Amino acid sequence: MIEFRRFYFSIFIAIVITSSTSLSQTNFLPKTIHYELDLRIDYDTEKIFCDCEITISNHTDQPIEQIPILLYRLLTVKSVTDENNRAIPYSQNVISVSGWEKLQVNFIEISLEKKLDPNERRTIKIEYEGYLLGYSETGWRYVKDHINKDFTIIRTDGFGYPIIGYPNDRDMMAIVKERYHYLLNVSVPNGLKLANGGKLVKKMKNGEMTTYTYQSIKPSWRLDMAISDYHLLEKNENSVFYFAEDSAGAENIMLALEKSVNTYSEWFGHLHNYQGFKIIELPEGYGSQADITSILMTADNFTPPYKTTGIYHEISHLWNVIPLDPQPCRVESEGLAQFLQFLLLKKLNNQVNAIEDAAEKYLKRIQTSFKKNPKYRTIPMKDYGIQGMTDYSYTLGMVVFAILYEMVGDNHFNKMIGTFYSKYDKTGATLDDFINICKKEAPIDLTLFLNDWLDTTKAIDDVIEGKTYKEFVHYYKTNK
């Protein structure tokens, strides 16, 4: 199974142990509204050259004077200007993140001569250049981002483009809640292709270079750019970028993509403004990841035995809504996706015991882990975001949705998910909003069940004592 959550937990392992220092001004951080990147890659020198425009908005009730920026340690800012090309003062220093001394970033502080007032928007231009060599020495072995003709990747994890924030846990945790549009102009040598989750709006050849222009389809929280001599498989609105030797795997990936979209649409209703989805192959070891409209997928998924669980998991996220809780527990997104991947294995791949086997495996894993960490037994699932325990929102959350599915049946379950998506897709929602939809659409009273699993640790006590998945299902089906 593909570990798509690797980014969330790899990057946050370092961040969570980062102390909040004098750099922290989290309450006065602007939101990113739009990125525009004009990026050129020089493979002879293995450097990137970029002009970046960031449009920011002050959603706080206080004026903002400083704009903090994080870049990769070997990327150097050459200038910062305003919309009228007037210079803006800034400082930059390569620093080690406190508590994670091997992790270094170029920390830039931009000093605004005119404060950014509440509800005001402004565009800042940043010119930078330099090298990418990954972060493998920090323990983030999958962050091998570098410049090479065989394969190049530039993404959020490697800080290959300016990210607004201070190096502290709250600012960095907020990255996954960002939603911005982007426009990319990336120039590469002829023969190479740029793969991105947005819409290709223009491709222009100029001498020995080709410039690809991509525009975001939906507001995104990350920028992923992969460059190689890709082959492209397109069907309807969907695309798979793949390496030449993996054409059969690409066909299988496309089939799984289409099946999952069609199945979820039948269950939960059609997606609003669906404009296709892209899957982009990466070499092994680079870590599979997902964005709003694309998946970065490592090469081992393109070879037999083909794995489809990652696709089933990530495509289900298209029916999620933006979380509005300050520190979301993510049960309603990741727990649901984890359950749905096994439900599709059962329905589409004829693995009749997929759900039960996974639930039993997770319960045993949780039992072992919570016995070693007694504190976990005192924390209800609704607080997993606050307590930094969202890893368990996948596994324990999967068990919750599996039991719920057995309790209410497929029709009512599908209506819960579809109604929640339809009602809150444009506005976002809290966990309480999701719970209220479940209670409203369920044919039975869910009070006991939800209280045991989300609001208290009653169910955790039963897990520790060794209650099996079948026993949980029987208990809640007979105690409605």
pLDDT at 21 over 90: no
Q: Is residue 178 located within the same domain as residue 244?
A: no
Q: Is residue 143 located within the same domain as residue 180?
A: yes
pLDDT at 175 over 80: no
Residues 289-300 pLDDT 10s: 888 899 999 999
Q: Is residue 191 located within the same domain as residue 261?
A: no
Q: For the residues 167-178, what does the mean pLDDT come to?
A: 64
pLDDT attached to residue 273: 84
**Where residue 172 falls among pLDDT bands split at 50, 70, 90?**
low
In a domain, 169, yes or no: yes
pLDDT attached to residue 15: 34
Q: In angstroms, rounded to a whole number, what is the distance separating the alpha carbons of residues 213 and 185? A: 5
Please count the residues of the chain: 480
In a domain, 14, yes or no: no
pLDDT at 33 over 90: yes
pLDDT attached to residue 174: 61
pLDDT at 401 over 50: yes
Of the candidates 215, 240, 241, the one whose C-alpha atom is nearest the C-alpha of residue 229 is 241
- Calculate the alpha carbon distances from 208 to 189, 202, 205 in Å: 6, 17, 8
**Where residue 143 falls among pLDDT bands split at 50, 70, 90?**
confident
**Where residue 310 falls among pLDDT bands split at 50, 70, 90?**
confident
pLDDT at 139 over 80: no
Residues 207-243 pLDDT 10s: 999 999 999 998 888 899 999 999 999 998 999 999 9
Q: For the residues 272-291, what does the mean pLDDT come to?
A: 90
Domain boundary among 183, 200, 226: 226
Q: Extract long-range pairs of 204-208: CB within 8 Å, 24+ residues apart.
A: none
Record the tokens describing residue 80, joined without a space. Answer: 């910062």
Domain boundary among 277, 293, 319: 319
Domain housing 281: 230-319
CATH number of the domain bearing residue 280? 1.10.390.10
Q: Is residue 98 located within the same domain as residue 55?
A: yes
pLDDT attached to residue 36: 97
In a domain, 365, yes or no: yes
Q: Is residue 237 located within the same domain as residue 152?
A: no
In a domain, 13, yes or no: no
Partners of 77 in beta bridges:
128
The pLDDT > 70 percentage for the chain reads: 90
pLDDT attached to residue 344: 97
pLDDT attached to residue 29: 85
- Calculate the alpha carbon distances from 80 to 23, 69, 114, 125, 426 in Å: 20, 11, 14, 6, 34
pLDDT at 27 over 70: no
pLDDT attached to residue 227: 96
Q: Is residue 205 located within the same domain as residue 220?
A: yes
Q: Is residue 113 located within the same domain as residue 36?
A: yes
Instruction: Report the range of poorest mean pLDDT among 30-34, 163-167, 182-186, 356-360.
Output: 163-167
- Report the number of distinct structural domains present in the chain: 3
pLDDT attached to residue 173: 59
pLDDT attached to residue 165: 85
**Where residue 138 falls among pLDDT bands split at 50, 70, 90?**
low
- Work out the burial of residue 319: count CB atoms within 10 Å of its CB; fewer than 13 is exposed, 13-18 middle, 19 or more buried: buried
In a domain, 11, yes or no: no
pLDDT at 335 over 90: yes
- Calculate the alpha carbon distances from 465 to 24, 365, 370, 373 in Å: 43, 13, 11, 15
Cβ neighbours for 415, distance < 8 A, ≥ 6 positions apart: 441
pLDDT attached to residue 11: 38
pLDDT attached to residue 68: 93
**Where residue 117 falls among pLDDT bands split at 50, 70, 90?**
very high
Q: For the residues 132-136, what does the mean pLDDT come to?
A: 85
Q: Is residue 200 located within the same domain as residue 100?
A: yes
Q: Is residue 342 located within the same domain as residue 294?
A: no
Domain boundary among 226, 249, 282: 226
CATH number of the domain bearing residue 194? 2.60.40.1730
Q: Is residue 199 located within the same domain as residue 342?
A: no
Q: Is residue 275 located within the same domain as residue 374?
A: no
In a domain, 8, yes or no: no
pLDDT attached to residue 170: 59
Which is more confident, 252 or 139? 252
Strand ranges (E), 167-230? 181-189, 193-195, 199-206, 209-215, 225-228
In a domain, 215, yes or no: yes
Instruction: Report the range of poorest mean pLDDT among 39-48, 166-175, 225-234, 355-364.
Output: 166-175
DSSP character at residue 177: G
Q: Is residue 245 located within the same domain as residue 393?
A: no
**Where residue 22 falls among pLDDT bands split at 50, 70, 90?**
very low
Considering the chain, what is the average pLDDT of its residues? 89
In a domain, 419, yes or no: yes
**Where residue 43 falls among pLDDT bands split at 50, 70, 90?**
very high
